[in-house]
Amino acid sequence: MVTYVCLGLLFLFVIIKAISYRAQRRRAPSPDQLSKLVLSILKSSGQRDRE
């Protein structure tokens, strides 16, 4: 009986982790968005260096 409770808790833990992983993956920026972000950071740092 204790084994079933442990297996049930493990199953719930795995499901919760899988759901949180999928939620984080959806919020992650796409490669195009990352490229634009890096370019904007590089441009802004280049303008600060000139000042």
- What is the model's pLDDT at position 26? 75
- What is the model's pLDDT at position 4? 96
Residue 30 and residue 22 in contact, taking contact as beta carbons nearer than 8 Å: no
Helices (H), the chain: 2-27, 31-50
Residue 47 and residue 40 in contact, taking contact as beta carbons nearer than 8 Å: no
Q: Which of 13-17, 22-26, 47-51 has the lowest mean pLDDT?
A: 47-51
Chain-centroid distance of CA 34 in Å reads 13
0.85 surpassed by pTM: no
Tokens 């195009």 identify what position? 32
Structure tokens at 49: 């260096």
